[in-house]
Amino acid sequence: MARVEPYAHVAGLMEAIRREGYLGANFDLIYGLPHQNRRRFARTLERVLALRPDRVALYNFAYLPQAFPHQRRMDAEALPDPEEKLAIFLAAREAFTANGYVAIGLDHFALEDDDLAVAFREGTMRRNFMGYTTQAGTDLLAFGVSAI
């Protein structure tokens, strides 16, 4: 996927986010990538938990080379099998819930005091095309080729 970001850089960004008073930080993690296994993903989880983002999305990697030609360059044999992917997901879910995160939906987590976790508990959380939100629906206008 070529999306490796050095831990020190991410840690520095998280420090700046906290220092500048941003409302929160969200991490998107992908499991099921080539050469990924429980041990390697556990190391990623340790680092993520140390940084303590407010929200985490845990996405299952979908290997669809027919739809995404760039995936044809990947070694399909290096992908974890379905049992390993499930084990990675379950271990991640356990790690997040054991460390103060609330499971929201199937693959999203938020710290217990995060607005999204509060809305989940109170039954006011919503979901729109962009994901989970605390906001009621609004009218949207989109223009352009990639407008959503």
- Identify which of 56, 63, 93, 95 has the alpha carbon closest to the alpha carbon of residue 78: 63
pLDDT at 139 over 80: no
pLDDT at 70 over 70: yes
pLDDT at 135 over 90: no
pLDDT at 75 over 80: yes
pLDDT at 145 over 90: no
pLDDT band at 140 (very low <50, low <70, confident <90, very high): low
Note the pTM of the prediction, 2 decimals: 0.86
Mean pLDDT over 78-105 rounds to: 97
Give me the residue label for tokens 């220092």.
Answer: 19
Give the distance from CA 38 to its chain's centroid.
17
Model pLDDT, residue 1: 62
Model pLDDT, residue 142: 73
Sheet holding 26-31, edge to edge: 26-31, 55-60, 108-111, 101-104
Question: For the chain, what are the domain ranges?
Answer: 7-133
pLDDT at 148 over 70: no
Model pLDDT, residue 130: 79
Model pLDDT, residue 146: 72
CATH of domain 7-133: 3.30.750
Tell me what percent of the residues of the chain surpass a pLDDT of 90.
74
What is the SS3 assignment for 119?
A: helix
pLDDT at 37 over 90: yes
